[in-house]
Structures are given as C-alpha cells and as structure tokens.
Structure 1
C-alpha cells in the first residue's frame, strides 16, 4: 500500500473514532481530529478520547532518528489513568509533523509534556522550540517537572499544518502526546473590546492564541472528558486575593442555553452552572470586590473572555453588578437579565488588554450602586486568559522565523537557507534598482502623486497598533492622495478649535480649504478615542471600493507624525440630525425630509448590492447622514462597516457594534450580522425624521425614552399623527404619512427575515413622496396594507412614478430594479401616475 493510501486510511480511522466518541454526546464533531500517543505501540484512552499509536502516523513525521522512550507508572507522577505520559518521542534534530487539513479554520494544537529519564536523555534538561508555518508557539522551551499541557489555537488557512520541533543549541526535544483538532468557527469571533483605551478591536481570526488560564469560578476542576471541546478548567481558589470574600454557588440544572447566546461549545453547563459570588454573610461591610490575580507575561496582549450566567436570581432585574479588568471598570450596572430577557442564559464578553510590567492580571467583580434596597451581589461563572501572538508572529519571547514546510534535515536546512539567502539578495538588488528608477521618474512628475500607503510615514506596510495587527491592502494603497500634514494645518488654520464642525467616536472634524480652493472636512483621530487604526483602515478601504452620489467622497488621508486623518468632501449643511433637533438650522419640510430619506436609502441600497459581497454599514444613524448645499443626502462614516456573508451563508458572526438606540436587537442577541441590521437602524432614522427627537432621551417618561419602541406603539394603534414633529402638523398628507409609517414599521420587525430589503424600502419611500405630491386626494386603487415583501416593488410602486421624471431619475430607477423602463411605463395607470 502506498504512502498516500496509508494517510487516507489513517484519516478515515481518526474520523470514525471522533464520531464514535462524540456522536453519543451530541457534541461538535471535528473534521480534523488527530490524537497521537507519541512513542506508544498501542492506542490509549483518556476519558472518552482515544489517542492512537504514533506507529500508525509515522508517515506524518520526518525526523533524523527514531528515538522512542518509555517508563513505568511507578517512576513518574502522571495524572491518574493517563498512560499517554508513559511514552515519548525524542527529537535530536529538526523534526517535522505534516498534517493534512481537510477543514481549514481554527484548530487546537495541544502539546503534552511529562519529563522522565530514558537512557542518556534526562527530559528535564530538554530545550527546544516549536513552530507552525506562520507562528512561533514555544521558544527555547524547558519543561518543568510534572505533567503539563500547552494549548494553542491557530487559524490554519492552508491544506496542511506543518509543526516543527527544533532543539536549541546541543540539546534535544521531546513530546508525549499531540492533538490537532478542528475548532467551531463561532468559538472565536473577529471582534473584541479594548480597554486601554476603551475601543474596538478587529482581526482576532488572524491571531494565534495560547491558553494561559481557563478557570471555573466557584466550581470544581473540569477534565477534558467532561468538556464539549476537550478543554481543561481549573478551580479559582488559587487565584483569589481573599478567599473569605467569595462564596461558591451551584445550580447547574438551571442553565438554559438559548439560540443566539453562548452555546455548550463556548463553555459547558458545569461552568455556567457554578459561580463565585460575594460572601456578604461573612463580611459586615458589603461594599467590597471579589478579586482574582493571574500571572502573565508583560510583553503580550491578551484576550480575556468572561463567562456569565445568572443562576442566583428568581426574577428579572434583580442582579446588578460592576466588572473590572486590570483596575478598569469595563461593565457598569451589569444586568444579565436585561441583556438576555431571561434568567440563567449563558453569555460571554471578550476584551483585549495589554498587561502592565507587574506581570499580574487583575479581575474583579463588585456591587453596583443601582441595587436600591436589595442585597448587593456580583457573580462570575468562568474566565479564560489567552495570550495573543506579537508582531513577530510569536507566542513566546524571542524572534520567530518561519521554517520551510519541506525541511527534513539539517543538510536540507542549509541548502534551503542558502538558496533563500541568494534569492533574497537578488530580490533586494532588483527592488533597489526599481526604486532608483521610480524615484527618477517621480522627479519629473507633479508633487501630488499616487503613493503606497504607509502608516506613520514609515517604510513598511506592517502596523503595530494596539487596535489591530492588520496589513494595509493594495486597494487602499492605490486610492486617494496622501495629503501632507503641513497642508492640513494650513487648510484648517492649524486645527483651530473654532473651525470644529463635529465630534465623533474617532475624533474631531474640522472644516478647511486646500490651496486649490477645495473645501474639506478633516476628521482627525484622537489617540484617546474609542476608535483607532481598524476604523481608519476600514474607512479608506470601503470608500476606495465605492463611488456613488449618495455616499460621501473621501478626498485623501494623512498618516504623518503618528496622525490618522481622513479628508472628505465638505458638506455645507452638516448632518441630518442637526436639522431635526438641537441646532439652529432651519426646519425641514416634509418633502425635503422624504427626499433625504430616499437619498440615504439609495446609498445604503448601493452598499448592499453594488458588489459581489454586500457591505453592511453597521452604524446607520441621523448623525451619519450628511447634507450638501442642495440638501442632497450622503451616507458617511464607514469605520464600523463590514463585508457581508458569502452567497452560501446567511450572516456574519461578529461582536456587536453600533450606536445605542439604533442597534438591531436580533444582531445584539445573536451576534449575527446581516444587511437587515442596517434596515432596522434605518427604520429608527425614519421615525427620528418624522418625530424630530433623539432616539434615546432619558429625561422623558420611561415609556417614551426609546423612540423606536414609543413610535411603534402609536403606529400599531393607528395614531402616528399624534407624535409627529409639531412643525409638520397639517402639512403631511394622510396617505403619505400612512405609507411612511408602514415602511418604518416593517423595518423595525423583530426578526431580519421579516424586514424588507433596502430596495423595497426605497420604492415605498418614493411612493410616499408621490402620494405627498399628488394633486388628487383619493386613489381607488390604493388600500391601507403595506406592499413591502408581498409583491414586486416594481409592480407595487412603479405606478406612482411621475411622467415628469428626469432622465437621470429614470436611469437611477432602472439601475435599481434591473428592469426595462418599458415595464415601468406600462404600470402608469393610477391617478397619481397619470
């Protein structure tokens, strides 16, 4: 039998074993599931996991010499029943495992070590490094006495994983057991929150992670056999600063996994069903925090995952508490039942933190001031601390240099290194010659030229911001002009505070005029803001892909002197929000408001349909709709935008981002983003346009605080005219108002599948405009039911396209519908259409 056939047979055996081990438990079934007992001549079980003999995987391993080590149970203190630590493979030279990957994506890599003495090899003296093609996992690693598992999760994008063991100096490497196992896609999303400063982080899927601590708060140790993904959870007792302040809580039977929230793959019920809480019975003063300390390495960023499940309350809105990370308040007056609208529903929260030089990570929970007369309490069910790779691609101190996957021996290493060095020299010479020629050409061209996008005026496209480890793409490189910082200082009168026209999460926006007379709006990033490099790059990337009359145009950017400045076309009339309330802009009439809504809908429709993949704005609100000198609307601020799902997918799994009051509740619950999330936010904007009041106003009575909820009550009872902007009273035709209200109502449907597309919204808004402008007050063909989602928008609304439309308007409609205009004309049969 050939080597390929052997590998295929081995993969099949592993897959069948994984099915047998997991199907009966209803667990996630990993497509790739390599469990190897190194040095063993037979298979061994650890709980319900079967580790196969590495004799059957010898084809996967390339090593200079096969050295198999073994010992007896009496000679080592191995974990109970774990025969996988009685044998090991010893590597006295560079050795490589090559695993075929059938399901690219995130995988566990677990390395099991237990040093013992075999012949002349004292494994406690071993010193070695371990790496994949992309990441350094261990560097000059020396296993301590006692068993240990080093767990990593790596996103594998190739069709194979190359795992390289490299002895340090004159030492050797060893390994007792090895796991390479697929991980569910939803386990690690792409986004998290940073805490210093508070902001958004994107790019987690590209990060390699090492599990440093995984703790079951208030509960016992959980073995891999009792975890849905084979994870180990330790007890929290050894991490508590003061054990007397904490009490253990257990109510495993209450755990209620619900769709849209954490699943048993995120953490098992043994974690969510136990918790550590405040031991108020033993402490006279209830104003204290329960605090844990964890040892970490100070030179890395960490992903901290909090697990919460309210297993203590007997009714909603009973438990309020504060959560602290690294001495910072990350969640105030946290009410789990308000978040989930249920009790005992597991949830988790992800944060990114860079640890101080103290080598300690501090986590605390404590009472909220919002407890009234209730007994103060706070809970934490579980915590995971995961180290993130640094800018060198390493999870350990020291520089990581990726090795060739075909490396078989030291001789071959030298050949490859020599060839690579020669190739590098040739490439370097070619680059130098190219740059010299290019520089000569540039001297003969105007000073304002296309240039590669470099951050901070540096010489590389790699960035090292705390917000992202992204690499600037070629799209952004070839887009707008880089504008010198000095030119922007001149244009904005040295960023004169009196020239500020707006302030947002990214920073202040200044008006200005370039030397060529171009009016600009310069959005200058604030280092202390909640947004950073990720938003800066996203904005450039999105606006470099699209050009549309209802999307704001990006003129250029500046990245000198550690600045992040985006330069847009200047919009004379500011934001839609400023025309509705809170400013001295003149009031908009109903037709102007409808025109602005229609223009905004066109811009969003183009985002959703103008490319092979939809682009989801994620922050649709009146403050992000800008108006030019003619009050034409343009959608702005793409810092939170995200590419939509593939054709064979229904959504994008991502951390929740957006603006409070406009946020799609289904997206908030399920963390599943679709274009319909933008539709929901736009529905809130429609009511905001109609009522001319903030979407959240805490000064109002409780039932009026949230505009969307308040307006929907009046819409559903047919009393919408009672809450419209007083400036519109008597100026809006009832049919137009009814159609507008029905459109907004459909947008705010609880579930995305029940909401219309932006194309449908656009047609119905144009219909509402035609009803407003019609001279005939009655229409025998019209009824009170909304046609959104029921019939084609062309059929339902084309009849109301006025014959006096301009050629440009007809062209726009034809672009949106994809239908010939002859069909539109054939529908002009109703009174308003005639």
Structure 2
C-alpha cells in the first residue's frame, strides 16, 4: 500500500523524539501587550505588560490598553489585546525598557494583530519602530487583518534595550500586540567565512555580526511547515512549494534518522532536526528532463538591489555512503559555491548538518534566486544536488531615530531644510537647462524586461513609448488604452461561454470592440499582481514590433486592479488544435509546411529586428496561432527577453518555459540565447510531423519525450514509421528527409550545434519547394545538402522565399537574401 508523501512527513514530524530540545536564553522577555494577564502562546507564557510583574518594563508615559471585543474564534489570546501609542505634539519616551544580563546578538520579534475597536481601527495605524535609537521599521502600516510578525536579529552592546513605537504624525498612532526579546545562541551569526556573491569575483563580507538583520523568508525545503513547537528558537519554517521553479525538476527526500551533529557543523539552534531530515533532490526519474539540470527557487524580497544574508542548510540524506555527492550552488544566477562536497565539510560523517552563509543583492525585480545543480566532479551514475533549508534576511541600514528634539537637533533640522532648498533649486535650474538642449536620438533600444510595477500612464511621452519601429504614436501607450467598460461590454461581462483559452496569465475571451473589430481578450486574475512582469513584457515588446507573422496587440487595460491585454482575433486558434486533440480536420502536409514557414519568419524577425533582438522563451504549438486563412502568427510574449548585447554571448536568467520544449542547455546553465528558441521550434517541427504532444507521460518510457523519440527513429533512418498517418501518403521522401534533418539539427544538445532561425527558415522553404517540385524517389543527388552549402541548396532559394520584414511604417518589406542567409552561402559562416 502506497502512502502520500505529505502523510509520511506528517507522521515523521509528529514523533515525540523529534521535538527540539529546549534552549534557555540568558535574556528572555515575552510581553503580552495591552493586557494585565498572561497569555500562553507556542508553549511559552507571555507576561501581561500591565501586570505588576511587568511594571518596570513599560516606560511610555502615554499609552492605551486596547482589547478586541469580538476576537475571531480559536484565535490565540495573545492577539486579543494591543498596546496603542497615540500621536501627539511632542515625541514620546521609549515604550519598553528592558535590562539585559548579557551583551551580544539578540532576537527581537514584534507581533502586530490589527483588529477593529470602537476607538481605534488598528489597520489605519502608521508608525515607525526603533531599538536603542536605530530605526527597524519606517512608516509601517498593516495592510490587512492578518497577523504580522516582524523578526530582527541584532547585536546589543548596551545593558539596556529600549523599544520605541513612533506614530508617523500627530493624527496617526502606533501599536503592538506582543514583544519577544531573547538572547541568540553563541555564534549564531559569525563574521568568518561569509562570502559576498558578485559577478566574476570572490569577496569576503566582514562584520556580519554587527549588521541588523530582518528575516524575510525561512523555508523548510522538501518538508512540511514547522511551527515554534518544533524549533528550539521558536521559529516558523514554511514549505518551499510556492517558490520552486519547474517543480518537475525536484523530488522530495526524507529520512527517519536523527541528524549526526558534529563539532564545527550546524546545531539544533541553527535549524531544527526536521529541516535536516527533509530535502529536495534532482528528479532524475522525470523523463521530460535531461541528465544534468539545476533545481531553482525564486524568493520575492520586495526591494531591489538591497543586500541580503542568504543562509543555506545542507544534510546529505540521499547518499548511501561518503563522497557520492558533489554539486554547485548558484545565487542570482552567479556561481556561489563550486563543487560542494558535504562529506568533507561534515568531517566525513554521513547525514551531518552543515550550513553556509552568503551575502547577495536582490535583483532588479526584487527577487533572490537560489539554485543547486550537478558538479563536473559528479559521478555520471550518481549525478545529484540537494538543498534542505533556506533563510533570507535583509541587511537593514540603521537610521538614527533618537527620541527628543533638543536645541542642537532643531538647528540641524533648520540647516538641513535650508541646504535641501538650495539643492532643490539647483536641480530645477539644471533640469531647465537639460530640457532646453536638443535631444539626441538613442542609438540603442531599451531592454524589454520590466523591473517592477509602474503604471503605464507614467510612460506617456517618455522614451520607452517612442520606439524605433514607428508603430506607436507620440502619445506612447496612451493610444493603446481601452476602457474596462468597453472590454466588459465586448465580452458580455466576461461570459464564460466566450472563453477560447486558458493560460498561466489567465483566461482568454472572444470579444469585439465598439467598431465591431473582433478581438481576443486575455484577462489576468482580477486583483492579482502575480502576472505583472508578463503583462508589462507583452506591452513593451508588442508596441515595438509589427510583423505579418506576429500577433498584434490592439490595446490594454489597467483599470480597477485589472490587467487585460487585447489582441487581434485569430479565427483558427492554436496550431496544436489542428494537429491532435480536437475535432478540427487535420492540416495537409503543404499547409503544415506553410504554417512552419510563417512561424519561422515571425521568429526570425524577433531575433533580428532590433540591435539586441528578442528571445521568445516559450515557443510551442499553443503559441503559434492561425488566422482565417491559416496564416501562422507567433503569440504570447510574456516570458520574452531582450537578447544579449553585442559584447555578450548570452543572457543570464532564471529558467522559464514549458516542459518538452525547454532547451536542455539553457536548463542546465541558465544561460539564454536565441538558440533556445531554435530548440523549442525544433520540437514544434516534430510535433507537426508526428501529430502528438511534446510530452506524453502516459506512453512507455522511451516515447514520453517526443524530441528524443523522434531523433532515435531519425538516426535509424525510419522516421517515416512515426509520421502522422493523415499525411503519411502526402509527403515526398525528399521533402521528409530535409524536414527531418532540419528538426534534428534544431534539437541538438548544444546551442553551438544548432542552426540559426534564418537557416531553419531557408531549409523549410526548400522543403516546400521539394514537396511541390521534387522527385517522387528519395535520392541523395536530388535532395542535396540540408546545411545549405552546395549548388542545389543555393538554387533552392528563389525570390518567392525571401523573408518578410516590416519597414518603419508597418508595411512588409523584403530583406536581401544575401544578408539574411550569409551563414548558409558561406561555408565558414558557422
């Protein structure tokens, strides 16, 4: 009988011997704020700050005890009261003064439970929090009724710890529901060995223990959620499911054996047993993946280009003996630790916990990415990588916020105001001078990725809205805005009967505009910001480009927390629905070739239509749409990225794409090139030929992955045996040979061995020529050389097969074939 993984993990964690041993901190203050009674919470007793026992702790002269008259059922008593600090004309004294017995690193946890009371609605509070004069929170306000716990780790060198809650202005107030202050274990944060992760160099980060740290994420990788009951420092560890990219790349691992703690490694205070008893390892059983790949997690941290401490926990619970496991660690796509050998790091004791600290900046999207993947030292038979836990802590830059406005402070405030006014005046003069100067045209297009959510109306008349393609007017994105009312009317209030597709972004509806133009309306999940990067990417890219074989953007809507994209309507829908899985009549072989050629033309324009080019990143049969005349157009640019600059070979980025179509080299190295699109397009070619999904897990193992299966038949010279029976008798042998060789080259393991999309386009046009005029018999002389070198191949390029490309006014022009196919006509080209 098979048991679910979650059930097994739950049973493991419920065993009594797995509860972490009690840690007794020298300093241990637990305060139930706004109450004169104690409250039990996570096996500990919080002292009422209004009780006689706590009378020396509460030092604020003006504060109010507040009680929730209608607390939610089964909610902890700790969150039924709060201490409120009203705003006033003069600064307040510190709220709490706590005497410490030992100096050093301490945990400070602040609990905020925003409930509504007749006198105060705690959701409307706005305030700052400081400790010993240093700001930990600035203009903090709860955003909902959910309890918020803020945890800080900092070094205290004073015998007294003062916590102040300062309303942002006189009309607001501050509050707190509970306070925890307790000593951290010795050497919880150490200064030695912390590596600063930066591109192309190794640095050591000094004085880490002197930094103020704010906990952002604490993750039990591969395991279940852990509550304070299972942690000697009363921490909560969340599961990693929501942060794991490409879930099929990872597989849970667990053990029922207690970790082997050794001197010099991790302790139970660094992380509890349960963290080290579970992990994610490479899912080598997944037939969709290649032998070597990375497991990646992406953690939103909210702020861009800010330093974070990234603590990674490891414990080799997957090896049967020592020296079997070697792997690499990446942070933000940079190599952070090469050839990790847990056997050596854990003093040659198997399943011994170990942790490593890194300092890294969050990226431009406010993310921190962590990846583990196989090392070059890995035994090919035992390729693997693991991760047991992740902690991410923001390194806070302390800002002095001493209480009190003395005469010296007033002088400095006045002086600062005067100086600030002078600086502002100078900036205004400088701006006027800049605007008066003639603007130079930029010679280089902007990168098309977004760095966060900025309402598009802010781009009006900005450089980003005036593209070099001439497809957007001087009003920029404003000309593309469509009101929510018009979209709502045109889709009959988003009638479910009008749904024509569902994707990762949301539902797609058939609709019409006021001028009766038929459109496809892609609506993001209402109120969600999850698809913001895709939303902005689509708009940014589709307003820069226009091509007959790319789906056109009609407009967008961003009203009422909506993210809606409106495209030209493609009557025949996705290519996939004309190959298999629907009632549509199958396309003929000639129609399929014309569709592939059209899609290749659109993709070629993406790759070559600007100085950097654009990499689609999600080419598949559902993203190639057909209009009423079966003209193919590439769609869905939500994952697209600008290509590498002239002095670069690739773009380093987290892996995005679809299983079965994903370039294995991109997956392994996280280095994106236009050849990644070529690989995906090669899979589409096999899909067109064989009329089956790129991945079908219901088939036998060797047939699950279409590209691998088709290439095996191709190498045996028997690809005709797996061709779609609907077209098998339509294909001339020479046409099939050229098509199959082209698809096989597209799916080469390494990008350097793949053709460019320009090469692919020419080959497909040659395939169509052979289909229409080629011989009935398959001969080497008649079929020529598929690489394009040789007389026959060059003769195959006619004026009818020139690649279309838009000119600046949106009309289609012709690119000279000698330029587009220079690599084909020159044997030294590749």
**Could you tell me the TM-score, scaled by structure 2's length?**
0.53
Q: How does 1:98-137 map to 2 (within 5 A)?
A: 122=158
- Deviation per residue, 1:679-719 (Å, 9 max, x gap): 11100100100111111223323322221111111111111
Q: C-alpha root-mean-square deviation of aligned residues, in Å?
A: 5.7
Q: Write the distance in 1 (CA, Å) between the matches of 2:745 and 2:607.
A: 18
**Would the aligned equivalents of 2:666 and 2:672 in 1 still touch at CA under 8 Å?**
yes
- Deviation per residue, 1:754-804 (Å, 9 max, x gap): 11110111110011011111165579984667543x749xx7744113466
Aligned-pair CA distance for 1:305: 4.9
Residue 271 of structure 2 corresponds to residue 265 of structure 1: no
The equivalent of 2:19 in structure 1 is: none
- Deviation per residue, 1:377-410 (Å, 9 max, x gap): xxxx542311359xxxx688999xxxxxxxxx99
Q: How does 1:451-490 map to 2 (within 5 A)?
A: 478-479=476-477, 481-490=480-489
Q: Write the distance in 2 (CA, Å) between the matches of 1:175 and 1:620.
A: 45
* Structure 1 residues 646 and 388: alpha-carbon distance in aligned structure 2, compared to 1, 3 A threshold: farther
- Deviation per residue, 1:573-616 (Å, 9 max, x gap): 11111111112222211111111101111111111121221321
| 1:235 counterpart (264, 267, 270) | 267
Aligned-pair CA distance for 1:412: 7.9
The equivalent of 1:630 in structure 2 is: 629
Residue 573 of structure 2 corresponds to residue 574 of structure 1: yes
* Structure 1 residues 571 and 679: alpha-carbon distance in aligned structure 2, compared to 1, 3 A threshold: same
Aligned-pair CA distance for 1:720: 1.3
**Would the aligned equivalents of 1:573 and 1:627 in 2 still touch at CA under 8 Å?**
yes
**Would the aligned equivalents of 1:255 and 1:272 in 2 still touch at CA under 8 Å?**
no
SS in 2 for 1:254: coil
SS in 1 for 2:596: helix
Residue 379 of structure 2 corresponds to residue 387 of structure 1: no
Q: Write the distance in 1 (CA, Å) between the matches of 2:465 and 2:349.
A: 45
Aligned-pair CA distance for 1:487: 0.6
Aligned-pair CA distance for 1:560: 1.4
Which runs of no fewer than 5 residues in structure 2 stay unpaired? 1-100, 106-131, 136-151, 165-179, 200-204, 213-237, 247-257, 279-314, 353-365, 402-408, 432-450
Aligned-pair CA distance for 1:521: 0.2
- Deviation per residue, 1:459-480 (Å, 9 max, x gap): 979xxxxxxxxxx999799235
**Would the aligned equivalents of 2:322 and 2:349 in 1 still touch at CA under 8 Å?**
no
Q: Write the distance in 2 (CA, Å) between the matches of 1:544 and 1:759.
A: 24
Q: How does 1:508-547 map to 2 (within 5 A)?
A: 508-526=507-525, 532-547=531-546
Q: Write the distance in 2 (CA, Å) between the matches of 1:124 and 1:256.
A: 47
* Structure 1 residues 610 and 276: alpha-carbon distance in aligned structure 2, compared to 1, 3 A threshold: farther
The equivalent of 2:719 in structure 1 is: 720
Aligned-pair CA distance for 1:623: 0.1
SS in 1 for 2:560: helix
The equivalent of 1:496 in structure 2 is: 495
Q: Write the distance in 1 (CA, Å) between the matches of 2:674 and 2:776.
A: 36
Q: How does 1:313-462 map to 2 (within 5 A)?
A: 342-343=381-382, 345-346=384-385, 381-387=387-393, 415-421=415-421
SS in 2 for 1:561: coil
**Would the aligned equivalents of 1:257 and 1:264 in 2 still touch at CA under 8 Å?**
no
The equivalent of 1:612 in structure 2 is: 611
**Would the aligned equivalents of 1:663 and 1:681 in 2 still touch at CA under 8 Å?**
yes
SS in 2 for 1:731: coil
Aligned-pair CA distance for 1:815: 1.6
Q: Write the distance in 1 (CA, Å) between the matches of 2:813 and 2:778.
A: 23
- Deviation per residue, 1:534-588 (Å, 9 max, x gap): 1111111221222211111111111112111111011111111111111222221
Q: Write the distance in 2 (CA, Å) between the matches of 1:711 and 1:726.
A: 15
- Deviation per residue, 1:354-378 (Å, 9 max, x gap): xxxxxxxxxxxxxxxxxxxxxxxxx
Q: Write the distance in 2 (CA, Å) between the matches of 1:512 and 1:615.
A: 29
Q: Write the distance in 1 (CA, Å) between the matches of 2:800 and 2:275.
A: 79
- Deviation per residue, 1:216-270 (Å, 9 max, x gap): x9466897xxxxxxxxx74346532669978975855333347999967168423
- Deviation per residue, 1:712-734 (Å, 9 max, x gap): 11111111111111111221111
Q: Which range moved further: 756-765 or 541-550?
A: 541-550
SS in 1 for 2:337: coil
**Would the aligned equivalents of 1:303 and 1:388 in 2 still touch at CA under 8 Å?**
no
**Would the aligned equivalents of 1:221 and 1:234 in 2 still touch at CA under 8 Å?**
yes
* Structure 1 residues 611 and 581: alpha-carbon distance in aligned structure 2, compared to 1, 3 A threshold: same
* Structure 1 residues 627 and 153: alpha-carbon distance in aligned structure 2, compared to 1, 3 A threshold: farther
* Structure 1 residues 236 and 640: alpha-carbon distance in aligned structure 2, compared to 1, 3 A threshold: farther
**Would the aligned equivalents of 1:307 and 1:383 in 2 still touch at CA under 8 Å?**
no
Q: Write the distance in 2 (CA, Å) between the matches of 1:800 and 1:308.
A: 45
* Structure 1 residues 474 and 114: alpha-carbon distance in aligned structure 2, compared to 1, 3 A threshold: farther
SS in 2 for 1:742: helix
The equivalent of 2:355 in structure 1 is: none
Aligned-pair CA distance for 1:418: 3.4
Q: How does 1:62-81 map to 2 (within 5 A)?
A: none
Aligned-pair CA distance for 1:502: 0.9
SS in 2 for 1:712: helix
- Count of equivalent residues: 529
Q: Write the distance in 1 (CA, Å) between the matches of 2:813 and 2:739.
A: 19
SS in 2 for 1:732: coil
Q: Write the distance in 2 (CA, Å) between the matches of 1:530 and 1:765.
A: 41
* Structure 1 residues 813 and 559: alpha-carbon distance in aligned structure 2, compared to 1, 3 A threshold: closer
The equivalent of 2:795 in structure 1 is: 799
